[in-house]
């Protein structure tokens, strides 16, 4: 049976993460989200390894579960509609910063290991290289290739997945400090790399434009810094529950066992387009090229986003689908949909209450977003919520794309529409004083000013089904994404 895995998260030992990143909270949120296999996070941190040993016990081969007494306490906090087994897989991120071919490289890599003793050996090896105790995601002056060699020497069952490969500042193919290919980064050990994490700002069709990446399995994970962010992106499997079976699916990309990914709309990621957040300059790649990459406000180099970087390395036009390409689905986090539908912030108390009420009625968030029947959603959450989720599933969204570290905003409803439905249906406890639209909205976008009239009207939705999986992107910061139905 198909299950969801999220193999790249963090623990409370990582900088700028939630104190709630404990195995108990993770086990609870995995059930609320509908995730079966969760990465442990922070594999290099000795304190976190101690917590693994204290709180987890071996389950299936290479997988772990919460010890019984802890699990029983967690189950008290999970509604019956969401209760399901959760497994942990030992995996965590390492930040490699080093010189290669005369340039500074900053690459994040996810390392996976089959058991506690192997993790202890990895930590012992890494502690000889740098400080692994001050940050759950340690920064090591260690070449990515050499990290791979270290873990493979410790155990051939260890694996390395380059993390969020397009992020400008910290990734294998990043514009600022990455490489132009997997081979350039991993050299003679390239054959040991079989999966790449596409990150929040890119989706599979963007990666399909680089034929060099065809032989890699494209995975997605949340990179969560707090439990509620779990599975905002995730990978789908249909294998037996075991470490070896999961990696066999990733290694082969066999469509019977590797079932594709659950994705953000890539415009929602923090580095989709180019620009300067401080200067409120947000550009499509072509606009950036027309300005020789220099900000029109401050004159400094803009941060090159993922779309631009993909275009720079692409050897295929948008819209072509390589033979091995796996299916994927683009989703919007349920709290964002609830917030937009009701005209309140996604982080508001009202949304939180409505969220848990819906999960208790229908089941885990990913089930609600991906496959719950719309009439059931309407029954539990109102017609407007069902309409919003239907639009998301059909890809009828408007995107205000992220750039230079600022998340984008994906909208399902025109800004002026009131959010009455949810209140009439009683999903929210009280009417808000003032509808405020989406949680966050950017005031202006420089490319709209540069290209007057480039913005598609807010009130029209694309209802065409596109034959090709990647749309031609309209100029300007507003995009429409491909219907999920056109993606398989």
Return residues touching Zn ion (CB under 5 A): 108, 163, 276, 279, 295, 297-298
Pairing relationship of beta strands 398-400 and 274-276 according to DSSP bridges: unpaired
Helices of type H across 172-319: 182-186, 204-207, 243-252, 285-290, 306-313
Tell me how far CA of residue 223 lies from CA of 39, 69, 301, in angstroms: 10, 28, 28
Nearer of residues 160 and 295 to Zn ion, judged by Cβ:
295
363 φ/ψ sector (left φ>0, alpha ψ -120 to 50, else beta): left
Nearer of residues 179 and 413 to Zn ion, judged by Cβ:
179
For the CB of residue 275, give the shortest distance to Zn ion in the complex, in Å.
Answer: 8
Count CA within 13 A, CB hemisphere, residue 163. Answer: 27
Nearer of residues 169 and 461 to Zn ion, judged by Cβ:
169
Q: Are 407 and 317 in contact (CB under 8 A)?
A: no
Residue labelled with tokens 């599975």: 231
Nearer of residues 283 and 428 to Zn ion, judged by Cβ:
283
Nearer of residues 148 and 163 to Zn ion, judged by Cβ:
163
Phi first, then psi, for residue 243 (nearest 5°) are: -55, -45
For the CB of residue 167, give the shortest distance to Zn ion in the complex, in Å.
Answer: 7
Nearer of residues 300 and 349 to Zn ion, judged by Cβ:
300
Nearer of residues 282 and 385 to Zn ion, judged by Cβ:
282
For helices 334-342 and 349-362, the axis angle rounded to 10 degrees is 120
Closest CA to 313 of 215, 213, 220: 213
For the CB of residue 165, give the shortest distance to Zn ion in the complex, in Å.
Answer: 10
Q: Is 182 helix (H, G, I), strand (E, B) or coil?
A: helix
- Beta strand segments in 45-186, E: 56-58, 64-66, 87-100, 103-113, 139-140, 159-162
For the CB of residue 302, give the shortest distance to Zn ion in the complex, in Å.
Answer: 7
Contacts for 461 with CB less than 8 Å, ≥ 6 apart: 391, 396
For the CB of residue 220, give the shortest distance to Zn ion in the complex, in Å.
Answer: 13
For the CB of residue 25, give the shortest distance to Zn ion in the complex, in Å.
Answer: 21
For the CB of residue 40, give the shortest distance to Zn ion in the complex, in Å.
Answer: 16
């Amino acid at each position: 049976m198909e299950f969801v895995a999220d193999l790249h998260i963090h623990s409370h030992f990582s900088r700028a993460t939630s104190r709630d990143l404990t195995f108990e909270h993770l086990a609870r949120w995995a059930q609320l989200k509908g995730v079966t296999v969760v990465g442990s996070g922070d594999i290099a941190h000795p304190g976190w390894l101690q917590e693994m040993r204290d709180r987890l016990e071996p389950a299936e081969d290479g997988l772990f579960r919460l010890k019984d007494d802890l699990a029983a306490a967690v189950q008290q906090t999970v509604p019956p509609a969401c209760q399901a087994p959760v497994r942990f897989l030992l995996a965590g991120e390492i930040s490699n910063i080093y010189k290669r071919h005369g340039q500074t490289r900053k690459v994040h890599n996810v390392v996976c290991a089959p058991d506690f003793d192997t993790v202890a050996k990895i930590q012992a090896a890494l502690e000889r290289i740098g400080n692994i105790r001050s940050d759950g995601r340690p920064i090591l002056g260690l070449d990515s290739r050499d990290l791979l060699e270290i873990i493979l020497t410790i155990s051939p069952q260890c694996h390395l997945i380059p993390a969020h490969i397009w992020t400008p500042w910290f990734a294998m193919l990043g514009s600022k400090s990455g490489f132009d290919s997997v081979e350039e980064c991993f050299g003679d050990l390239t054959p040991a790399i079989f999966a790449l994490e596409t990150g929040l700002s890119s989706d599979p069709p963007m990666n399909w434009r680089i034929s060099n990446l065809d032989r890699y399995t494209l995975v997605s994970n949340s990179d969560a810094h707090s439990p509620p962010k779990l599975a905002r992106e995730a990978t789908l499997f249909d294998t037996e529950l075991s470490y070896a079976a999961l990696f066999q699916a990733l290694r082969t990309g066999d469509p019977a066992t590797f079932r594709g990914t659950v994705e953000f709309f890539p415009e929602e990621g923090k580095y989709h387009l180019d620009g300067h957040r401080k200067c409120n300059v947000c550009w499509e790649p072509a606009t950036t090229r027309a300005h020789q990459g220099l900000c029109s406000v401050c004159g400094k180099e803009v941060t090159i986003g993922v779309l631009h970087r993909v275009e720079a390395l692409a050897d295929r036009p948008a819209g072509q689908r390589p033979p091995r390409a796996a299916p994927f689905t683009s989703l919007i986090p349920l709290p964002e949909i609830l917030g937009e539908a009701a005209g309140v912030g996604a982080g508001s108390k009202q949304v939180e209450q409505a969220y848990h009420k819906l999960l208790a009625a229908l089941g885990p968030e990913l089930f609600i977003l991906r496959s719950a029947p719309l009439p059931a959603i309407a029954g539990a959450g109102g017609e407007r919520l069902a309409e919003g989720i239907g639009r998301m599933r059909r890809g009828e969204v408007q995107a205000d794309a992220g750039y230079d570290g600022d998340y984008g905003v994906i909208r399902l409803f025109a800004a002026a529409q009131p959010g009455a439905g949810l209140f009439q249906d009683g999903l929210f406890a009280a009417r808000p004083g003032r509808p405020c639209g989406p949680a966050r909205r950017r005031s202006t976008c420089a490319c709209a000013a540069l290209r007057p009239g480039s913005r598609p009207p807010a009130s029209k939705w694309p209802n065409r089904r596109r034959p090709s999986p990647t749309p031609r992107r309209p100029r300007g910061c507003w995009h429409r994404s491909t219907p999920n139905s056109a993606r398989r």
